[in-house]
Chain A
Amino acid sequence: MLKAIRKNSFILIVLIPILIHFLIFEIFPLGFSFYISLFNWSLVGNHEFVGLRNWIDLFQDPLVGKSLLVTFKFAVYYILPSMIIGMTLALLINTKLKFANFFKELYFLPVVTSIIILASVWKWIFVGDKGGIVNFLLETLFGTKNQKFFSDENMALFITALLSIYKACGSLMIYFYAGLKGLPSSVFEAAKIDGANSWKALTKITLPLLRPTILYIVIISTIDVLQTFESSFILTGGGPNYATTTIVYHIYKTAFVNMDMGYASSMAYILFIIILIISLIQYKVLNKDVSYGG
């Protein structure tokens, strides 16, 4: 017994504290979150047990419905455009021309930059008066009047999504690039001999072969969208008229501004369940569909 402990002392000394840490900071909050959701829980004062009332309220709250709709609209603005740009970037750097690597690093720069830093510039680029660069360009090029980007309901969400696209397409480029590198070159040589042009090769060969990569990107992008928060926080404060209140922003407001922790916990749980389902689908789909057949 003692010998076994001594033999495995490294494992025990490392894993036991880590396991305890893991249980306290990762596992316990999961259960605790559900417990909180059964209470009328504000930080000060007593917690009042309310059973499943928070969970029932959820389905009658117009703001929950609205934040789901906003998040869905955000996904529409964000997912396809960021994938098209990411794919374009990947194809460009995959030409392996001179300096392609340099451009790759440039396109990647927004990915490592904090979204708050990018939003600080975004805020000034899209300022709603003559001072905004976009307004300046629109006026000189098209004679458009000053657009109040952040006080227009549709525009505000679009500009917020644009920031996310700008930040994310560099990482999508890397995923697509990795996918492109993994494709068998023999197929392309065969296509060239058959006289297929580049566009045909792209749509008929490359994209179908990249199906697993595309699926993976769609799924991680969806999860990303479901967690969008920062850009609304900085650029619009969720407004105007809740037009940029995403799910997570709504949870944040409910928990830490209105101090309604119980209700916010039930919302966070719903979000968790949605993301869990998507992750499981990802796991299933990708495990079935990764080989290029040869």
Chain B
Amino acid sequence: MCLMAVNKLNRGMQLMSILNLKKIAIYFLMIMLAVIFVFPFMIMLGGSLNNRTVLVASPSMWIPETPSLKNYRSIMNDELVLRWLLNSVVISAIPVLTSIIICCAVGFIFAKKRFWGKQVLFWMFMAVLMIPSQMTLIPRYIMYSKFNWIDTYWAFLVPGIWSVMYMFLMRQFISTIPDSLLDAANIDGCGDFRVFAEMILPLCRSAIATVATLSFVSKWNDFMNPLIFTSSDSMYNMIVGLASMLQKTGNFGIQMASAVVTFLPTLILFIAFQRYFTEGIALSGIKG
């Protein structure tokens, strides 16, 4: 009797230790992978705080002995870099604002309104998502040079006023709003404009947050469009500016500090709105 109890206890403990071992193994794997994933970011941060101009391969390189902000000071005194930052803010922030309003309005129409040709129009919009953006780069370049838009903000602000992807996200979200809510507002005699401004927009807060973060980050990180549609270096955005630095100077510290500065807005948004990023990716399949 007693023996059986001991046996049982033993088996129970064995099972527990196996479970624990499994847990430990999983944590070990997760931490190892995390180290690999974070490693490039550590190099970036460490390098930016370093005084050295070339990378010296020893562990001391990413834990600088005497961390200094010299590199940051020098890029923050660089008028060109400040200009790149300003350009990035302009061509990221303004399209986000217009996109939110327009995508929400169009999404509302496709989710809740009925009119002739709606399905055809919707699928025509959606079909464009299959077109790779590189495909239209050449015709757009020729168009914009005819408009005299090359090397100006217009080449980014006008075409980027809304996007099909975010309209689709909005439509999906607005579809979940119960019709009865809108009907009640209609009976009360609210026109579509008031319904949109006073009901739809406030109800869409979380969808708007998703669209705002995703579109800001994708515009901030945009490389191809600014590369093609700018010609003078004072019109680069921060990303193209960083790329041009990578191809010219070989100063490790300065390059890493610029990379950190370019990365910072994304990181802050990511930490603040993590949920929206992963949800947005799962929903739409866009990659930051």
Contact = CB atoms under 8 A, between A and B. Distances in A.
Interface in A239-263: 248, 251-252, 255-256, 261
Given A33-B135, A108-B277, A272-B135, A220 B285 contact: yes
Interface string B42-77: 011001000000111110010000000000000000
A55 interface: no
Interface stretch (A56-64, A132-140, A149-157): A132-140
Contacts of B44: 117, 120-121
B96 to A, nearest CB: 15
A119 interface: yes
Given A112-B217, A125-B43, A21 B161 contact: yes
Interface centre among A113, A117, A226, A252 (most CB of B within 10 A): A117
Interface of B: 23, 26-27, 29-30, 33-34, 37-38, 40-41, 43-44, 47, 54-58, 61, 102, 105-106, 109, 113, 115, 121, 125, 128, 130-132, 134-143, 145, 158-159, 161-162, 164, 191-193, 196, 217, 220-221, 223-224, 228, 239, 242-243, 246-247, 252, 255-256, 258-259, 262-263, 266, 270, 274, 277-278, 281-282, 285, 287-288
Interface of A: 8-11, 14-15, 18-19, 21-22, 25-30, 32-33, 36, 41, 43, 88-89, 92-93, 95, 97, 99-100, 103-125, 127, 130-133, 135-136, 166, 168, 170-171, 174-175, 178, 220, 223-224, 226-227, 229-230, 233-234, 248, 251-252, 255-256, 261, 264-265, 268-269, 271-272, 275-276, 279
Given A28-B139, A112-B217, 16 more contacts: A25-B159, A29-B136, A29-B139, A36-B139, A92-B29, A108-B274, A110-B40, A113-B221, A114-B223, A114-B263, A116-B262, A124-B55, A125-B40, A127-B55, A264-B138, A276-B130
28 contacts: A10-B109, A11-B115, A18-B162, A25-B140, A26-B164, A33-B136, A92-B26, A92-B30, A97-B26, A109-B41, A112-B277, A113-B263, A115-B223, A116-B221, A116-B262, A120-B259, A121-B256, A133-B57, A135-B57, A166-B40, A223-B132, A233-B243, A234-B247, A256-B141, A268-B134, A268-B138, A272-B132, A275-B132
